[in-house]
Amino acid sequence: MSLSASLKDQVLERDTFISKWVHEEAMNKCVEDNRPFHEIADEQFEKLVDHNIIQPVDKGIDGKVNTFRVQGMMFEYIRQKAVCDNYATFICKDNSGDERLPKSGATIHRLVYRSSIAEVPGSTSLDSNLSQVRSATISGHAGRQLLKALNKSENLQELNLDDCNDLSNVSLNLSKFTELRYLRVNRCTKLSKKTVKKTMKLHRLAILDIRDTNVDTLPIQVTQHSNLAVIVGRFGVPCKNNKRKIRKLRKLYQKSKLQKIEGLCVDGSVVFMECLRYMPKLSVLKLCCRQDAENGDFRPEIIASSLTACERISSLSFDFSNVYPLDFLNVIRNGSFPLLVTLELRGQLSKLPTFIPQLDRLNHLALSETNLGLASLLELAHMPALSRLYLFEKKPNLYQEAEFVIQRGQFPRLQHLSIATPRMPKIVIEDGALPGLQTLELFFLQWDGISGIHHLTRLKEIVLDANASGETLRVLSEEASLHAIKLRIKRNLITSSS
């Protein structure tokens, strides 16, 4: 039913939907299953794909669905059911004159409001109708009148604001929503700092999503909310660095419920980074680095030492691109991150950190723009649980070897291998190598070929770049013809690196 708030054929973001679904349904199930809620949400999302309720639109190089849309007939069914069951009330205002308003005096519990016109026509019914709203999704021009009416709601628990770029000119008093548990503000580029500071008073807040906004810092008081479990965006958390302050924060964060922090800018967040080690439930962490990191407060040694102490981390990501090298990860000792399942690195490395091949539970590894040679990649060949490996490089002449040979017994559990690079030497697969491989994705502009595909007895499909030449397709088809079963060979346009 959460999908009923979307438009027909609207492209939705996976992470946004999962966060909303978690808020509405998965929290209770998480308590029962005693598992991180993001794991349960991912499982349920895959079920929606498998049952053709939603259709993937964009996949990243890691094979993960980034965006999707609801299947046509399923959308009509979900929308009708939402109306019939009084699950949601839909209000639409646009230039065509189509204006759908609820019946006068109707009680609204879930509001879905869209307006493509700057001025909202006067209406006296909104004040009374919105007083009992528990969930509100607002897209386009919010308008003074709507937000003024919404400010009177005492039971608002969920607020979604999409493309509302008039928020700087209207009154949005977040501090009045004392029951608010879910706040998502996406693509609102004129959000005032005063509005952001009001989130400090939302003590019941569990999920905060501020992606694609002009918010680049969060008050550290927001991260201390006792119920806060998820923060998503691209933000720093500045705080004065002194021992007395850190001792106080340590006591606060030891009771923290934070499980997922995505988009934390490490530059300018030294104190907060140091406090990560005290968060007992933190399991998902995605770190990034801004362009001016070298001129800011950036302490890589603190990042490494703090992360080493985060023993419950199951998913870890670094997005440093070309801003700052990731070589500080080399100081992380072997045996760190005993529960780590997913690791994504985007940034330059002079060598592969020694702790990575020692990760016994790691099954998903993505290396992007690391500038590592093929010899370094073979250091991963004997990882016991690695099932998905993604390599993405932009440097044209990175791989100078004549051949990339994968020997017998290497990558014993690998099921999905994806390589994207401008030039790739010939790939040679020996008998007994990659025994469990099912999907092979090859995105090259220049390629010297492949041999040994017939050794991959479990291989089901090969995916090539959409711009692959006909000659490449012909050579690959000849090699695939030697396989015991008929392989699917298709082309796909890679649109994302992570």
Structure confidence by residue, pLDDT tens digits, 193-207? 777 888 888 889 999
In a domain, 41, yes or no: no
C-alpha closest to that of 288 among 321, 320, 244: 320
Considering the chain, what is the average pLDDT of its residues? 83
According to DSSP, residue 262 is labeled E
Higher pLDDT, 51 or 356: 356
Which of 189-193, 422-426, 462-466, 492-496 is predicted least confidently? 492-496
Most confident range (mean pLDDT) of 57-71, 166-180, 475-489 is 475-489
pLDDT (tens digit per residue) in 197-237? 888 888 899 999 998 888 889 999 999 999 999 999 999 99
Is 355 contained in some domain? no
Average pLDDT over residues 469-478: 78
**What's the token pair of residue 80?**
């009708």
Does position 71 have pLDDT exceeding 50, yes or no?
A: yes
What letters, b where the CB count within 10 A reaches 16 and e where it falls short, cover 62-74? bebbbbbbbbeeb
Tell me, what's the pLDDT at 92? 75
Reading the block at residue 99, the tokens are 């204006």
Tell me if residue 334 falls in helix, strand or coil.
Answer: coil
Residues 6+ away with beta carbon under 8 Å from 11: 57, 58, 67, 68, 69
469 within some domain: yes
For 256: left if phi > 0, alpha if psi spans -120 to 50, otherwise beta; the answer is: beta
pLDDT tier at 140, thresholds 50, 70, 90: confident
Largest Cα–Cα distance of the chain, in whole Å? Answer: 76
- Strand blocks (E) in 51-115: 54-59, 65-70, 89-93, 99-100, 110-115
Tell me, yes or no, whether 388 lies in a domain: no
Other residues' Cβ atoms within 10 Å of the Cβ of residue 226: 11
User: What pLDDT score was predicted for residue 29?
Assistant: 52
Task: Evaluate whether 247 touches 274 at the Cβ level (below 8 Å).
Answer: no
| Closest of 390, 463, 394, 389 to residue 422, by C-alpha | 394
pLDDT for residue 118 is more than 80: no
Phi/psi for 224 (5° steps) reads -95, 0
pTM of the complete model = 0.84
Domain assignment of residue 423, yes or no: yes
The total number of structural domains that make up the chain: 1
The structure tokens listed for 396 are 């044209």
Residue 449's domain comprises 398-498
Task: Report yes or no on 447 lying in a domain.
Answer: yes
> pLDDT tier at 69 (50, 70, 90 boundaries)?
confident
CA atoms within 13 A on the CB side of 409: 1
Collapsing DSSP states into helix, strand and coil, what is residue 481? coil
Between strands 65-70 and 461-465, the pairing is: unpaired
Q: Which of 344, 448, 459, 468 is nearest to 405 (CA)?
A: 448
Residue 467 lies in a domain: yes
Whether residue 336 is contained in a domain is answered as no
Q: What is the rounded average pLDDT of the residues 313-328?
A: 92
Structure confidence at residue 120 (pLDDT) = 46
Residue 392 contacts residue 367 (beta carbons within 8 Å): yes
At 74-112, the pLDDT tens digits run 888 887 787 777 677 777 776 544 445 555 556 788 888
